[in-house]
Amino acid sequence: MKRFLPWLLFIATTFALRGFGQTAFPDLTQQQTYTLHRASSMEKTGGNIDSRAVTPGETLTVLDTDGPGMISHLWFTINDPEPYHLKRIVLRIYWDGETSPSVETPIGDFFGLGFGEYFNWQSEMLSVGSSRALNCFFPMPYRKHARITITNEGKEPIVNFYYNIDYRAYAHPLPADTLYFHAEYRQAQPNHGWTNQWYENGDPNVNYRRNLDGKDNYVWFEAKGHGQYVGVTMSVLQNQDGWWGEGDDMFFVDNDTTPTIVGTGAEDYFLGAWGFGSPFSYQLYGAPVVNRDLAGERQSVYRFHLDSPIPFTKSMKATIEHGHANHRSDNFYSVAYWYQAEPHDPFPPLPPMDDRIPTLQVVGGPGNTGMTEHPASLSPK
């Protein structure tokens, strides 16, 4: 029996990974058989300059390792004086020698910081701790190879980029049906609403508009193949007064032309209620940034479906309305997280770096006419 024990423990860990209920945390009462490794920015000579400088345009490889294995934790912290550097630094992850990354997102957005500014928040999978500590606990298995890079698309050098990446090496191959972690950034600056002629969201010309097929919804991600969606982080810069979150979430699974799953409003999907009221962050859901419902204000929200990932066998599109039936024209910035079999379809190109900087848009409507700037809401930190 003893000679089978390591293999049985590996299988048990794999089942925990697939179920997501324990976020791939192993059974602490059982002896683990993987070997744990760390890729870090430590000074190779043993000195104390344990970071990397990254010049403009430079790509730094922070992990390059063979499998089979699984990344269990990412930790980064950054010293970069350039405003909005969280939008200018791009994180990419590649599995098994692929040329199209399975993760491609501004580094701040990956950690839920969609405005390019730091704030503290916590969840089961992602957190930002004091001070400017970026942490990820998504399990990321790979069969043959894993490579992680960061690229400085800013105009100034990153003075200090610190990183610790913990990963397991397995003695046995991963099961053939193991799914790979993916994360994709998208934005709309702005979403283009179909009208700016209203005084409040409940106006009859808005309230009785129908949207049964999700046309013109904001798209979190689209994928082909088979896998499961596990969540999203999203930030909203309001271009107009009033509550931004009247839009319903809509999920299209396996080529459905009408939504397979439909919600009742943004705050309901993100598991708050009545416009959130005040900031909160819990293990699977939250709204860590909540402000007044006025043009120029900002909101950040997240939800993780670790209780029931949404599976797809052919395709999936995850979307949300921007206002009821897409009447509003606010700015959305998001990262969707999912697991799927490779290969994956290439992601849409990242917006140019300057276009990723949150900027108020003149779209008309309540609180917006003629507005070009709101310094209190957009000052970099």
| Position 81 confidence tier, pLDDT thresholds 50, 70, 90 | very high
Does residue 119 sit in the same domain as residue 153? yes
| Position 273 confidence tier, pLDDT thresholds 50, 70, 90 | very high
What does the DSSP 8-state code read for residue 346? P
Q: pLDDT for 60-69, tens place per residue?
A: 999 999 999 9
pTM as predicted: 0.92
Domain residues for the domain of 317 are 180-378
Q: Tokens 């800013």 belong to which residue?
A: 154
Looking at the chain, how many residues does it have? 381
- CATH number of the domain enclosing 188: 2.60.120.1390
Per-residue pLDDT, 16:
45
- For 326, the token pair is 């897409």
Which of 169, 196, 218 is a domain's end point? 169
Q: What is the DSSP string of 222-268?
A: EEESSEEEEEEEEEEE-SSSS-S--PPEEEEETT-SS-SEE-S-HHH
Phi/psi of residue 4, each to 5°?
-90, -15
Phi/psi of residue 205, each to 5°?
-65, -20
Task: Domain count for the chain, please give it.
Answer: 2
Does residue 254 sit in the same domain as residue 374? yes
Does residue 192 sit in the same domain as residue 298? yes
- The pLDDT of residue 230 is above 50: yes
Mean pLDDT, to the nearest integer, of 207-222? 96
In a domain, 161, yes or no: yes
CA distances from residue 63 to 139, 264, 326, 342 in whole angstroms, order as listed: 15, 42, 41, 20
Q: Tokens 């690229």 belong to which residue?
A: 151
Indicate the average pLDDT of the chain.
Answer: 92
Q: pLDDT for 147-192, tens place per residue?
A: 999 999 999 999 999 999 999 999 999 999 999 999 999 999 999 9
